[in-house]
Amino acid sequence: MSQSKTPFDVGLLRADFPILDREIGTAKLIYLDSAATAQKPTVVIEAMNDFYRLSNANIHRGVHTLAEEATAMYEKGREQVANFINAASAREVIFTRNTTESINLVAHTWARANLNAGDVILLTEMEHHSNLVPWQILAAERGVRLEFVPVTEDYLFDMDAYGELLKLEPKLVAFTQMSNVLGTITPAKEIIKLAHDAGAIALVDAAQSVPHLPVDVQALDADFLAFSAHKMLGPSGIGALYGKMDLLKAMPPFLGGGDMIKTVHLRSFVANQVPYKFEAGTPAIAEAIGFGAAAEYLQNIGMNALMAHEHELTKYALERLEEIPSIKVFGPSAENKGGVASFTMEGIHPHDIAQILDGEGIAVRAGHHCAQPLHEKIGIPATTRASFYLYNTKEEIDALVAGIYKVKEIFG
């Protein structure tokens, strides 16, 4: 997929992110909330600014110079994103608003065209609401049956239970490749193969994995894969759905309107070709350009080098956090997780922890992280989550630990 063109140097990389020079109060920003959204390098910001400054026009509809430039830049973004995940064709990448819309697109098109009452969809207990609620809506509407692969006591995907559930002959297996709470990395390739062996289609929620791991959709043999730009250094308001071409061709359109049609009559229409039949109306043009720039930036760094850096950070963070009395960290060992550390502290609410850390310039997340059923499973209402990315350092983790000790001091 992507190999590093230069040695991984976090100090040099940090210079690419203007926001990291910001101070919060009197403290320099320490950003540990990349699982919610990642910061943006200058190359992404400039790519979008250059479009607006020099080439702003609508796409696919004009023959003047600006329209042709805008169209070429938009489609280059699609090609860069397709190359990043190793899609066989750029046409297999559909631009959406985010991971959530990508999953909803599958639920509203493929699922409603192919699933009937009594058909089984397999999900997991660690899913983000984006990969739960669309299927719950479908179950209420169509009577499909939802079943859930449990999380083991050591916070892993339960392969034994999965094998048993596959005997139900599900039509769809939809699962996260990396939990946004636990950091658990699921064995996606094996899950997909077993799903196919059982006659099911496989959808991967890759919102957390694509920004942090080498993801090759052809090697995985994924049928659908959903992810967002804003978690991988790109802009908000745009995401992508990868789908195998034969599936996309057979699916009905998602939204009706301009650009998703070939011809329109008063009482009928003919849909456009893939991917345009799923991209109704004027799209997020500048965002697609920024999305492509982010993908190219990460590819130039090299995802294997990035993953190794994050693994080192995560291992160090878990070791440091476990030194703190009365703290409980949720998730598997560093070998089985991405750059996420969700924790609780006895007698202290996660929001209080996050607020005190913010006073030290440290940005973390607090709450249920759009994964309420998972929090119910582990018996807590909320966690504090620190998440790491390519621009974070061990010194920042040391500052996090010092901040947590300050929380303990304040609460006695």
69 within 8 A of 52, measured Cβ to Cβ: no
Q: Taking the mean position of all CA atoms in its chain, how far away is CA 201? A: 20
264-291 burial code (b ≥16 CB/10 A, e <16): eeeeeeebbebbbbbbbeebbbbbbbbb
Give the separation between CA 57 and CA 51, rounded to whole angstroms.
9
> In which element (H, E) is residue 82 found?
helix 65-84
Sorted by sequence, the CB contacts under 8 Å of residue 74 that are 6+ apart come out as: 59, 283, 285, 288, 289
41-65 burial code (b ≥16 CB/10 A, e <16): beebbebbeebeeebebbbbeeeee
DSSP at 92: G
The active-site residue, picked from 1, 370, 380, 401, is 370
Q: Taking the mean position of all CA atoms in its chain, how far away is CA 400? A: 24
State yes or no: is 220 an active-site residue. Answer: no
Q: How many residues does the chain have?
A: 412
Q: Identify the three-state secondary structure at position 234.
A: coil
Give the separation between CA 38 and CA 15, rounded to whole angstroms.
15
282 within 8 A of 58, measured Cβ to Cβ: yes
Positions annotated as catalytic residues are 370
